[in-house]
Amino acid sequence: MDQEIVLRAAKLREEINYHNYRYHTLDSPVISDAQFDALVDELRALEAAYPELITPDSPTQRVGGAPAEGFAKVEHPAPILSLDKASSRAELFAWHTRISKLLPEDAPPLAYTVEPKFDGLTVVLHYRQGQLVLGATRGDGLVGEDITANLRTVKTLPLRIPADPDGPQPPPYLVVRGEVLILLKDFDALNARLIEAGESPFANPRNAAAGSLRQLDPAITAQRPLHLYAYSIVTADGPVPATQQETLAYLRALGFAQPSEMAYFADLDAVADYCEQMIARRNTLPFEADGLVVKIDDLATQAALGVVGGRPRGAVAYKFPAQEATTTLRDVEFSVGRTGVITPTALLDPVLIAGVTVSRASLHNFDFIAERDIRIGDRVLVKRAGDVIPYVEGPVVDVRDGSQRLIEPPTTCPACGDPVVHPEGEIAYYCVNAACPAQLVQKLTYFTHVLDIEGLGERTAVQLVEQRLIQDPADLYFLTKESLLTLEGFADKKADNLLAAIAQAKDRPFDRVLAALGIRGVGVTVAQVLAEAFPTLDALAAAPAEVIASVEGIGPITAQNILTWFAHVHNRAMVEKLRQAGLKLAAERKAGVAGEQPLAGLTFVITGTLSRPRDDVKAWIEALGGKVAGSVSQKTSYLVVGADPGGSKYNRAQALNTPLLTEEQLYALAGSHP
């Protein structure tokens, strides 16, 4: 291979890693997103053409490799210790008194660092010659699990150190300890996305981080907003800093992220004051912390103090007071979501938790209830973290008096009474009645939310469903003023306004309409991706699952959900009603006159044998405004795949994530055939 290409790839990797670090870790990018994307595109294209150029530290490898069968065990180079705790100022001073007795009389005065005690997952990262070679979970402190493929997807985790070429050179072998977590702002967005896609949200950021990191499929991990903070060096085969404060600065210089809350004090009173201040402002931290870690700054002193019961004497966790309380679980309410998932919610005796009265709390799902053995009548521990919905952590089994009752999943839908279905391999229980009124209310409010139709809240939705004015969201377009006037609270003006708002929403772009259909897994973001790959709803409806799943960002489950959705006659009828009402079921073309030149602006490449002569198809595409090229490149809009396709075009399309079309889909896209 040309030496120039090898050098170019190396240069691109270095630049991309550096700009990634500027963007994600330092929050201070020096190039635009478009410039960044151009670098990544160039590297991807090179690696697609010359797969032997792919290195483990290549930024393209952050997307997640092949799913694992399980995780291999990894022995840690030194025990990954846990911490002793203090829960008050007095206990902090007691710790100090204990350790002072063990130090020589003439020892220099102690200094301390105070760090947040991140509530995430401990990870151990091995770097050889500056390259990340292994990343493991803590496990039992001696042996963890190899989760390297998943960790590579964490954007604030440097794949190579120093991340900034001007940074210090690390020793040939360096093992760093840190914590992987999800920032609160990202957690809210992640849950919003999951709810929108009809999936269950996570109870708290820690669970979300844990679930994401231990995914067997790194591609899923890659979609989760994981974040790494590093705070110590486990081992190194060269010189490293002698104090904790310098270690933090050194790790920062190597390219690891650290929060601004890392503090240093030469006096224990100042440490205690700082801890108390931090307790008061814990809810302003951008991540979840369950306390602070106070460490003796001098690492030789820390080491000399030794370890008792797996806990080093030279550091202590100053725990935040718990944001939790116990109360009685009186009953469980079942509600039916838009996709038919039945969700249990605990109804509690009201209890005050960190200033907020809590009377309802999440029970997540029925697996969780069974695992924790939560029963009606139980005394339960309820937690509240940040702004997250309070959730039941588990029962206090000791105080059971025999009156407690098991919580069984409902066998019939609480709204429509139809039998509940529990598909094999799934956690959720579903009401699968397409006409279930509770689902319909949720579908309707979701539809109006996504299409931005004002004036139709849940109360109106309930009435529309109860009065049987609506069988599916598309019926909104056939509502009359007379029928609206029969609803409670509807007078002339209100009815007119609602009808106007409904009519106005006919203008919403295709991707919004697609999202509004409420297909499981197809929220606003996924719909945008789909609308780019399939410019008409008919093209999507006609696509085989493999073709849908070949679109970047779309997994096989979502692809299957799309197929299943279109297989239902009710859903197809709804699509026809929307079409009749004049909603946009096709993307607006950037160039060309729609209708006459439906393929304007699109470039096609054809592989394999089509049912008509290739030249005819080519002429026909060109007549409709499209172009036909001989090989797949970044500019290719679609690869049209006929029978017995050639490998090279297909492989290149895969590498570039070029959307694929069957011959039939091409005709569906054009709305005609040669």
- Residues of the shown chain interacting with ligand IVH in the complex, contacts defined by CB under 6 A: 81-83, 115, 117-118, 122, 179, 231-232, 293, 312, 315, 317
Nearer to ligand IVH, 13 or 177 (CB): 177
- The length of the chain in residues reads 674
When the beta carbons of 315 and 438 are compared against ligand IVH, the nearer one is 315
Least spacing, CB of residue 491 vs ligand IVH, in Å: 59
Contact between 224 and 191 (Cβ < 8 Å): no
Least distance (Å) between residue 259 CB and ligand IVH: 10
Is the preceding omega at residue 168 within 30 degrees of 0, hence cis?
Answer: no
Q: Which is nearer to ligand IVH, 82 or 483 (CB)?
A: 82
By CB atoms closer than 10 A (0-12, 13-18, 19+), residue 447 is buried
Min CB(221)–ligand IVH separation in Å: 20
* SS3 annotation, 575-595: HHHHHHHCCCCECCCCCCCCC
The count of C-alpha atoms lying within 13 angstroms of the C-alpha of 130, restricted to the half-sphere facing its C-beta, is: 14
State the maximum Cα–Cα separation within the chain, in Å, rounded to a whole number.
Answer: 95
Q: Which of 580, 616, 621, 588 is nearest to 604 (CA)?
A: 621
End-to-end CA distance of the chain: give it in Å, rounded. 43
231 vs 446 by CB, closer to ligand IVH: 231
Nearer to ligand IVH, 232 or 463 (CB): 232
Instruction: Give one DSSP letter per residue of 354-420, joined into a string.
Output: TTEEEEEEE---HHHHHHHT-EET-EEEEE--TTSPPEEEEE-GGG--S--EE-PPPSB-TTT-PBE
CB closer to ligand IVH out of 209 and 346: 209
Secondary structure of the chain: what % helix, strand, coil (to 5)?
40, 20, 40
- CA 321 to CA 656: how far, in whole Å? 51
- Whether 539 and 482 have beta carbons less than 8 Å apart is answered as no
Q: Which is nearer to ligand IVH, 82 or 560 (CB)?
A: 82
Q: Which residues contact 104 (CB under 8 A, 6 or more apart)?
A: none
For residues 229 and 178, the answer to whether their CB atoms sit within 8 Å is yes
Nearer to ligand IVH, 312 or 473 (CB): 312
Active site members: 117
Q: Is 127 helix (H, G, I), strand (E, B) or coil?
A: strand
Whole-number minimum distance, CB 179 to ligand IVH, in Å?
5
Choose among 571, 483, 462: nearest CA to 519. Answer: 571
Report yes or no: 621 and 628 within 8 Å, Cβ to Cβ.
yes
Please name the residue that has the structure tokens 């929108």: 196
Residue 126 CB-density burial (10 A; 0-12 exposed, 13-18 middle, 19+ buried): buried
8 A C-beta contact, residue 591 and residue 598: no
Looking at the Cβ atoms of 319 and 443, the one nearer to ligand IVH is: 319
How many CA atoms lie less than 13 Å away from 610 in the CB half-sphere? 22
